[in-house]
């Protein structure tokens, strides 16, 4: 029983010890050790980074070599004095002997945050400027175990920047020839300047400057030009054109200056211009200008051939040249054609090492920098290729456009509506379109030159997928070496033409509000900046304006009201009658509004005081008071009834009281008097007839 109890106690003790070894307590940091820092990236060495540490017996020494900060994280390289130290743990190791979760000697497995020493050195994540716990495993004793320590790394100064790498500089310097005397002074000067420009001691942050020094030396060495040796070097000739054939050619060097002496097979060109066709045109006639080195005059040599002596600078291998036609030059002098008609562009390629001269028609290719502002249109490169000149057979300048995909199989220089398969350019090998950008429509007549360079022009591309043409705007600059691709804007010509027809606001006032509003709506609907794919929308805008203009309807002329005196017109009033005088005025339309429009009365053009008359509705009855009429002089007076939209005018005659002037209003008396007169007259007539009958 006692033995059994002892065995159980022993097993329990072993279990407790095993558990304590298998599951150590990790220090703060544990898995995912925090080594972040706000220090600037770089290396920090003593005395900038200072280490203090404690723990163990003090026999082992730990040295801090450097601290490296990169991307806000700090690591440190340590050297330990004892080779018995094998591992570092970023935390506190709790337990005795081996701790398998940190290092298992049976399997060689290491745990998280455990790092191995190599040649007594180890690099581990660290926290700076604070005390941090760590442990090291030692094999110095028969029972390997972990020893706990703490360290404090204090970093208070700026990092020590690494030195720049001068390997490329040293390699370039090694390529400088020992004997520079055989090269031209100018090319040697460039090498010496590049060599002397080397500045040592720069740091890694200025590596680009060091690399530039190396490149400058490399370029200068590559550009070294050997001094010409006095004498003559005959050249082997290859002619690639039947119109400009050299029969003899050699290089003649004297006093360090080299001349290409070349004789042509024919006598059609007595003058050469050293340069391109465009430069020749800009230069003009230089035959009489002795100071114009671009013009080279030909002289007949001993073999009866026209020979030209052309100065050649060191290092020159390619020479554009314009052959000036004798016949067309003479016609130019006679005023029969332009000077440019005599210019034929050629080229010469000189290889001094191979001792060769190759002549041919002018052919030049210039790579273009592409700016593509169009989505879904991939272009991977472009070049401008020119062959010949305006007077040459087969002259053309082409835009070589390398596409980024096979989406488009044909291209046409012009609008999509005009594109056709016969005039289109097919996509060539390497996905290249060769688009004409400069050509002569009539051979031999440079005045028919068509030039699309430097100004925007339209190119239409045929989509394989959609079987439709899409327009793009190209701007090729030969001068700047650029190609800019943009969307093609829609044509707003019809819109602008329609807008020009819109009447002024003053004129629009003569049209009905409804028709004017329709026009304003059509104008407001115009949207600028649409591309050619929306041309139908732009055309619809123009049509809407045109339709609205055609639909403008003039307002009807309003009928003007007429006022008429319907009673009391041209009347007569007798002084002393004591009666008022009434005038009635009627409106030709809407007579019920007449009284509301009444504004006053004028007599002989003067406004009558309201005390002298009364006005009432129906249509409007104006009664001139007798008291006022008594004040008027005898005779005829003008009476005007005024309204807000017109007037009615009549007259009144003022008569004096008497026999021949009955009072106004005594119509009965006047009637009886008239009847009496008529009766008396009738009696006289009757008596006369009776007397005549009796006789």
The predicted-structure confidence for 37-90, as pLDDT tens digits, reads as follows 988 888 988 778 899 999 988 889 999 999 999 988 999 999 999 999 999 999
- Give burial (CB, 10 Å; 0-12/13-18/19+) of 570: exposed
CATH class of 493-550: mainly alpha
- Give burial (CB, 10 Å; 0-12/13-18/19+) of 296: buried
Sign of the torsion formed by the C-alpha atoms of 308, 314, 317 and 321? negative
When mean pLDDT is compared across 22-31, 265-274, 684-693, the lowest value belongs to: 22-31
Tokens 């050629």 correspond to: 346
Q: Looking at the predicted structure, is the pLDDT value of residue 559 above 90?
A: no
d(CA 236, CA 262): 11
Q: For 409, which DSSP code?
A: E
Give how far Cα 329 sits from Cα of 294, 295, 593, Å.
17, 14, 95
The residue with greater pLDDT, 256 or 202, is 202
639 with 649: CB under 8 angstroms? yes
| 369-372 vs 482-487, strand pairing mode | parallel
Percent of the chain with pLDDT over 90: 70
| 85-89 vs 114-116, strand pairing mode | antiparallel
Return the CATH superfamily for domain 167-222: AF1782-like (1.20.1270.90)
Q: Which residues contact 97 (CB under 8 A, 6 or more apart)?
A: 21, 143, 144, 145
How sure is the predictor about 158, in pLDDT bands with cuts at 50, 70 and 90?
Answer: low
Is domain 563-664 given the CATH code 2.60.40.10 in the classification? yes
Q: For 467, which DSSP code?
A: T
80 with 62: CB under 8 angstroms? yes
**Residue 155, helix vs strand vs coil:** strand
How sure is the predictor about 668, in pLDDT bands with cuts at 50, 70 and 90?
Answer: very low
- On the question of a cis peptide bond just before residue 63, with omega within 30 degrees of 0, the verdict is no
Closest CA to 273 of 319, 318, 307: 319
320 with 362: CB under 8 angstroms? yes
CATH class of 231-361: mainly beta
Q: How far is CA 91 from the centre of its chain?
A: 61
Q: Residue 241 has what pLDDT? A: 84
Percent of the chain with pLDDT over 70: 90
How sure is the predictor about 309, in pLDDT bands with cuts at 50, 70 and 90?
Answer: very high
Q: Looking at the predicted structure, is the pLDDT value of residue 26 above 90?
A: no
Q: For 90, which DSSP code?
A: S
Tokens of 146: 């972990």
Q: From edge to edge, which strands make up the β-sheet containing 121-125?
A: 42-44, 62-70, 73-80, 121-125
Q: Looking at the predicted structure, is the pLDDT value of residue 17 above 80?
A: no
When mean pLDDT is compared across 13-17, 362-366, 423-427, the lowest value belongs to: 13-17
d(CA 579, CA 664): 8
Q: Which residues contact 579 (CB under 8 A, 6 or more apart)?
A: 573, 626, 663, 664, 665
Prediction pTM value: 0.45
What is the chain's mean pLDDT, rounded? 87
Tokens 């298998």 correspond to: 22
Q: What is the per-residue pLDDT across 566-586, written as a single tens digit (0 to 9) for each?
A: 999 999 999 999 999 999 999
How sure is the predictor about 6, in pLDDT bands with cuts at 50, 70 and 90?
Answer: very low
Tokens of 437: 């950008």
d(CA 437, CA 453): 6
The CATH number of the domain covering residues in 24-155: 2.60.40
Q: What is the per-residue pLDDT across 117-144, written as a single tens digit (0 to 9) for each?
A: 999 999 999 999 999 999 999 988 778 9
Q: What is the per-residue pLDDT across 501-519, written as a single tens digit (0 to 9) for each?
A: 999 999 999 999 999 999 9
Closest CA to 538 of 578, 577, 489, 586: 489
d(CA 84, CA 139): 5
405 with 424: CB under 8 angstroms? no
Q: From edge to edge, which strands make up the β-sheet containing 396-403?
A: 363-367, 379-387, 396-403, 432-440, 449-451
| 236-239 vs 257-264, strand pairing mode | unpaired
**Residue 445, helix vs strand vs coil:** coil
Sign of the torsion formed by the C-alpha atoms of 466, 467, 471 and 475? positive
d(CA 239, CA 259): 20
Q: Residue 31 has what pLDDT? A: 57
Closest CA to 587 of 650, 640, 643, 639: 643
Tokens of 261: 């002496």
Q: What is the per-residue pLDDT across 369-414, written as a single tens digit (0 to 9) for each?
A: 999 999 889 999 999 999 988 888 778 899 999 999 999 999 999 9
Q: Looking at the predicted structure, is the pLDDT value of residue 675 above 50?
A: no
Q: Residue 3 has what pLDDT? A: 42
How sure is the predictor about 18, in pLDDT bands with cuts at 50, 70 and 90?
Answer: very low
For residues 433-451, give the mean pLDDT.
87
Task: Give the best-scoring range by mean pLDDT among 156-160, 251-255, 272-276, 528-532.
Answer: 272-276
Q: Which residues contact 403 (CB under 8 A, 6 or more apart)?
A: 378, 379, 380, 427, 431, 432, 433
Q: Residue 160 has what pLDDT? A: 67
d(CA 529, CA 495): 13
**Residue 503, helix vs strand vs coil:** coil
For residues 5-21, give the mean pLDDT.
40
Q: What is the per-residue pLDDT across 189-222, written as a single tens digit (0 to 9) for each?
A: 999 999 999 999 999 889 999 999 999 999 999 9
Tokens of 160: 């020590």
């Amino acid at each position: 029983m006692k033995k059994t109890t002892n065995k159980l106690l022993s097993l329990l003790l072993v279990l407790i010890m095993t558990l304590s070894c298998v599951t150590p307590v990790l220090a703060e940091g544990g898995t995912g050790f925090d080594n972040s820092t706000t220090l600037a990236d770089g290396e920090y060495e003593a005395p900038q980074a200072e280490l203090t540490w404690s723990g163990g017996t003090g026999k082992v020494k730990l040295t801090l070599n450097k601290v490296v900060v990169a991307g806000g994280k700090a690591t440190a390289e340590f050297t330990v004095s004892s080779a018995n130290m094998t591992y570092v743990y970023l935390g506190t190791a709790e337990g005795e002997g081996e701790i398998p979760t940190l290092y298992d000697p049976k399997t060689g497995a290491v745990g998280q945050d455990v790092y191995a020493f190599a040649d007594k050195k180890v690099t581990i994540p660290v926290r700076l400027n604070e005390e941090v716990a760590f442990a090291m495993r030692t094999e110095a004793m028969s029972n390997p175990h972990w020893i706990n320590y703490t360290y404090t790394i204090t970093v208070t100064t700026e990092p020590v920047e690494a030195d720049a790498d001068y390997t490329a500089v040293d390699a370039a310097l090694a390529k400088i020839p020992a004997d520079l005397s055989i090269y031209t002074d100018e090319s040697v000067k460039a090498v010496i300047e590049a060599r002397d420009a080397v500045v040592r001691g720069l740091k890694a942050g200025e590596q680009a400057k060091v690399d530039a020094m190396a490149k400058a030396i490399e370029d200068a060495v590559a550009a070294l030009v050997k001094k010409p040796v006095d004498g003559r070097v005959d050249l082997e000739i290859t002619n690639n054109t039947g119109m400009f054939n050299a029969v003899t050619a050699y290089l003649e060097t004297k006093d360090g200056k080299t001349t290409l002496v070349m004789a042509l097979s024919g006598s059609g060109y007595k003058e050469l211009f050293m340069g391109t066709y465009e430069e020749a045109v800009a230069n003009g006639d230089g035959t009489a200008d002795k100071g114009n080195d671009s013009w080279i005059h030909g002289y007949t040599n001993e073999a009866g051939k026209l020979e030209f002596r052309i100065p050649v600078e060191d290092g020159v291998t390619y020479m554009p040249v314009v052959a000036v036609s004798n016949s067309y030059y003479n016609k130019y002098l006679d005023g029969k054609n332009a000077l440019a008609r005599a210019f034929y562009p050629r080229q010469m390629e000189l290889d001094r090492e191979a001792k060769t001269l190759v002549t041919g028609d002018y052919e030049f290719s210039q790579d273009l920098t592409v700016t593509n502002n169009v989505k879904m249109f991939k272009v991977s490169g472009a070049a401008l290729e020119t062959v010949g000149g305006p007077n040459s057979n087969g002259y053309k300048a082409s835009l070589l456009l390398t596409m980024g995909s096979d989406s488009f199989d044909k291209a046409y220089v012009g609008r999509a509506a005009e594109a056709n398969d016969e005039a289109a350019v097919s996509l060539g090998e390497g996905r290249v379109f060769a688009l004409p950008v400069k050509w002569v429509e009539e051979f031999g007549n440079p005045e028919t030159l068509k030039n699309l360079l430097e100004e925007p022009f339209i190119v239409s591309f045929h989509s394989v997928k959609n079987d439709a043409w899409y327009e793009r705007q190209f701007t090729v600059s030969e001068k700047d070496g650029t190609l800019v691709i943009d969307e093609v804007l829609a044509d707003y010509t019809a819109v602008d033409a329609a807008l020009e027809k819109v009447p002024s606001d003053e004129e629009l006032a003569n049209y009905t509000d409804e028709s004017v509003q329709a026009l304003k709506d059509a104008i407001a609907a115009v949207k600028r900046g649409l591309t050619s794919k929306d041309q139908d929308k732009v055309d619809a805008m123009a049509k809407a304006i045109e339709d609205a203009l055609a639909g403008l309807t003039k307002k009807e002329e309003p009928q003007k009201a007429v006022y008429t005196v319907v009673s009391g017109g041209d009347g007569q009033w007798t002084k002393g009658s004591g009666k008022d005088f009434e005038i009635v005025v009627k409106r030709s339309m809407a007579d019920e509004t007449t009284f509301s429009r009444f504004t006053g009365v004028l007599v002989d053009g003067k406004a009558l005081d309201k005390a002298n008359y009364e006005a009432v509705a129906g249509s409007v009855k104006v009664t001139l008071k007798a008291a006022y009429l008594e004040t008027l002089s005898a005779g005829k007076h003008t009476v005007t009834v005024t309204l807000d939209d017109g007037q009615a005018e009549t007259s009144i005659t003022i008569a004096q009281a008497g026999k021949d002037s009955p009072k106004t209003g005594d119509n009965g008396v006047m009637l009886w008097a008239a009847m009496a007169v008529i009766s008396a007259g009738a009696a006289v007539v009757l008596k006369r007839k009776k007397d005549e009958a009796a006789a």
